[in-house]
Amino acid sequence: MPLPTVILPGYLAGAIDYREMQQTLIDLGIPAVTVPLVKRDWLPTLGGRSVLPILDKLDRTVQEIRQTYNTEKINLIGHSAGGWISRIYLGAKAYDIHGRVSDRVYSWQAHQFVSTLITLGTPQTSYERWTLKNLNFVNLTYPGAFYPEVKYVCIAGKSIFGVRRVGSWLAYSSYQLTGGRGDTWGDGITPIEAAHLEGAENLTYENVSHSPRSRGKWYGSAEIVQQWATYLN
C-alpha cells in the first residue's frame, strides 16, 4: 500500500483550494489529507514573522495520519511556501530566529518519518525582505536536499516568461524578487531556477501555472498530479 500523504497549502491558501489535488491522489490509491488551514491561519505570519502556527498545524496533521494508518513513514507535499516550511519541519535545529516563548516546540526532526518531500512551485530562494529571514534560516541550516534519507522532488512550472508589459508584469516582478532576474521562465510566480534544489530530483512541467486560481493547468490539476504522484513510492 502506498504511504499516506500530507499536503501543506501555500501562503494565504486554505485546504479548500487543494480538494482536487487530494481527491486525485485518493483516486490513485494514495491515502491523502490536507493540513486543515484557512486563510486567517496565515495572518500571524504576515510581514516575515514566525511560521510556527503553520508548523504546529502541519505536525498535528502528520501525527494524526501516522496514527490513523499505523505507519512510521509518510510522504509530504508542499505547495509554494508550503515547500520551504516543510524543509523547516524536516529539520533538527531549533527554529527560534524570531525568539522563543515557553511551552512551544521549535524542532520537529520530521526527517525521521518523511519518506519523500515533493515541493510544487516553491520559492526556495528570495530577495524579498519580508521572506528573507525565514528563507535564510532554511537555506543556511538545511541547504539543498539536506537529509539523505529523504527523497526530495522539486517541481517547477514553465508557463509565463517575465517581461515588462501588461499581462506579464506580475510574473516579471515576482521572478525578480524571488530569483533576482525578471526576464526568465516560470509558473507566473516562481521562476524555474528558484523552484529547484541542489541534490534534489528537479523537474520542470510545461504549461503549468502556480495557483489553483490560474487559468489552465496548475500543479493540482488532475493530469499534473498523476505525473508527479509517480514519485510517491
Q: What is the pLDDT of residue 142?
A: 98
pLDDT band of residue 167 (cuts 50, 70, 90) is low
The CA-based angle 168-153-95, given to 5 degrees, is 90
223 located within any domain: yes
171 located within any domain: no
Residue of 47 and 233 predicted with greater confidence? 47
3-state secondary structure the chain: CCCCEEEECCCCCCHHHHHHHHHHHHHCCCCEEECCCCHHHHHHHHHHCCCHHHHHHHHHHHHHHHHHCCCCCEEEEEECHHHHHHHHHHCCCCCCCCCCCCCCCCCCCHHHCEEEEEEECCCCCCCCHHHHHHHHHHHHHCCCCCCCCCEEEEEEEECEECCCCCCCHHHHHHHHHHHCCCCCEECCCCEHHHHCCCCCEEEEEECCECCCCCCCCECCCHHHHHHHHHHCC
The stretch 134-138 carries a mean pLDDT of 96
The stretch 69-94 carries a mean pLDDT of 98
34 located within any domain: yes
24 located within any domain: yes
Strand partners, 8: 78
Q: What percent of the chain has pLDDT over 70?
A: 100
179 located within any domain: no
Distance separating alpha carbons of residues 209 and 130, to the nearest angstrom: 23
Distance separating alpha carbons of residues 143 and 87, to the nearest angstrom: 10
pLDDT band of residue 169 (cuts 50, 70, 90) is confident
Q: What percent of the chain has pLDDT over 90?
A: 90
Q: Is the pLDDT of residue 83 over 70?
A: yes
Strand ranges across the sheet with 32-34: 32-34, 5-8, 74-79, 114-120, 151-158, 201-206
Model pTM score: 0.96
Write the pLDDT tens digit of every residue in 55-74.
999 999 999 999 999 999 99
Number of domains in the chain: 1
The stretch 95-124 carries a mean pLDDT of 94
Cell of 157: 512550472
Q: What is the pLDDT of residue 233?
A: 74
222 located within any domain: yes
Q: Domain containing 56 — which CATH number? A: 3.40.50.1820
Domain containing 18 equals 5-157+193-231
The stretch 213-220 carries a mean pLDDT of 92
166 located within any domain: no
113 located within any domain: yes
Write the pLDDT tens digit of every residue in 11-34.
999 999 999 999 999 999 999 999
Q: What is the pLDDT of residue 123?
A: 97
